[in-house]
Amino acid sequence: MPKPLSRRTFLRGVGTAMALPLLDAMMPRSAFAAPPAGSTPNRLVVFYVPNGIHMPGWTPQAQGANFDLPPILEALSPHKNDLLVLSGLDNLAAIDPGVPGDHARGTGSFLTCAPVFKTEGANIQNGVSIDQHVAQNVGGLTAFPSLELGSEGGGSTGGCDSGYSCAYSRNISWSDANSPVAKEISPHEAFDRLFAGKDTSMTPEQAAIRRQLKLSVLDFVLDDAKALHAKLGQRDREKLDEYMTAVNELEKRLNKPPDPNECVVGPKPSITLGLEGHVKLMMDIMVLAMRCDQTRVMTYMLGNAGSNRTYNFLGITEGHHYLSHHENNPAKQAKLQTINIWEVEQLAYLLTEMKKVEEVDGNLLDHSMVFFSSECEDGNAHRHKNLPVIVAGRGNGALSPGRHIHYDGAQPIADLYISMMNAMGVPETTFGQDGTAPLTGLSG
């Protein structure tokens, strides 16, 4: 091709516009001979889990490259060389001694490192979260500055934890001190927003016809795809075919009728899928969103702060929050560890899918930072020090993974956020209440 293909090129048909994957033909010509640093965009993904972690089953004993993988982290063994396990990081902004509400307080300040104002009213007060700070600086390069997803719903009004607003418990993304960014918990809505988006020529009648016929978005863009296919090199043709197949398979899973044998007891569910299927759909949507460069900043909440969800498919009928207050009861701790193992298995699935996506100078995980953590260390003690932290990926060369690093003393997690912002092209030197410099040791 005489010139690089625009990253904003879409497949179009009958009013439907679907983004293309990130193809070699979209990269500068110099990238093919000797890929320059940063020739592929960097991504930031935040994966939040509630109620802390059973730390004895999480923390590696050895430091450096020869660290072990404890039971909770065993599912990450195929990705050990892609991991930074970080110990000793604190979020002091979440600490208010003697004041209940640690789950809401910790989740509210999870990505802001700013103290939240205790209220159940409209006068909420927080800081800007790292994801939104990055999105406000570099989000204009993509169709969506950021994407917020989750697997547990609920509004942001009223109180959810000992006098703290539900806005703190149900959101980790904050665009300013008073504005949480609501998450999307419907895979169908997330898919349509990203891959079946309307262009300006789509009429309400066309949209209604598509819904009535339950046609795939691919049915509308195939002719355009065939025309583009002929203009691409062999590697890009293969990437386009793989992408179209992935979109088609994901859409089929979304449109699969619900299992009539599935029994849901309790309040009306906000989703029609079982949790296992819901989480994997969200992970697949996230990978496709990065693959087609629709966004480079994403957050995902597996549950809300203090979630008391039951895990019947794991043989656990007690609520998660109840078990997190284990009181050193071995039976409760064993069940809590089982939940944590499953949570990390979902992270492992995400990393596996990201590594399958080849890019010009590596794979999608090479060009990403996937941050996994919780609002507190131990749910029973409500500690906000020595948080369970994993950063996966190479951050486009900013990280040297494959190590367990323990930080001594009061080391703010805000410093990690400064490092990640810098890697995303945002040259900050301070962040939140106590971030003063990039975290040392991440690049080897």
Beta strand 83-90 pairing with 403-412 = parallel
CA–CA distance from 248 to each of 77, 219, 242, 288, 394 (Å)?
A: 30, 10, 10, 11, 29
- At 16 the pLDDT is 72
For residues 343 and 288, give the distance between their C-alpha atoms in angstroms, rounded to a whole number: 21
CA distance 142 to 309: 35
Q: Residues 96-114: pLDDT tens digits?
A: 999 999 999 999 999 999 9
Residue 201: what residue type?
Answer: S
What pLDDT score does 14 carry? 63
Flag residues of the chain having pLDDT under 50. 1-2, 30-38, 198-200, 259-271
Task: Please name which of 311, 264, 302, 313 lies closest in space to residue 280, comparing C-alpha atoms.
Answer: 302
- Global pTM value: 0.88
pLDDT, position 21? 82
Per-residue model confidence (pLDDT) at position 268: 35
Q: What pLDDT sits at residue 77?
A: 98
In this prediction, residue 427 carries a pLDDT of 95
For 54, the 3-state DSSP assignment is: coil
Phi-psi region of 145 (alpha: psi -120 to 50; beta: other; left: phi over 0): alpha
User: Mapping DSSP to helix (H, G, I), strand (E, B) and coil, where does residue 288 land?
Assistant: helix
Identify the pLDDT of residue 402: 98
Which domains occur in the chain, in start order? 43-186+270-423 (3.40.720)
Distance (Å, whole) CA 378 – CA 261: 36
Contact between 354 and 364 under an 8 Å Cβ cutoff? The reply is yes
Question: How many Å separate Cα 444 from the centre of its chain?
Answer: 25
Token look-up 């003697």 returns 98
Count of beta carbons in the 10 Å neighbourhood of residue 366: 22
Residues in the chain: 444
Instruction: Using alpha carbons, list the distances in angstroms from residue 443 to 37, 150, 217, 362.
Output: 15, 31, 42, 18
Distance CA 351, CA 47 (A): 11
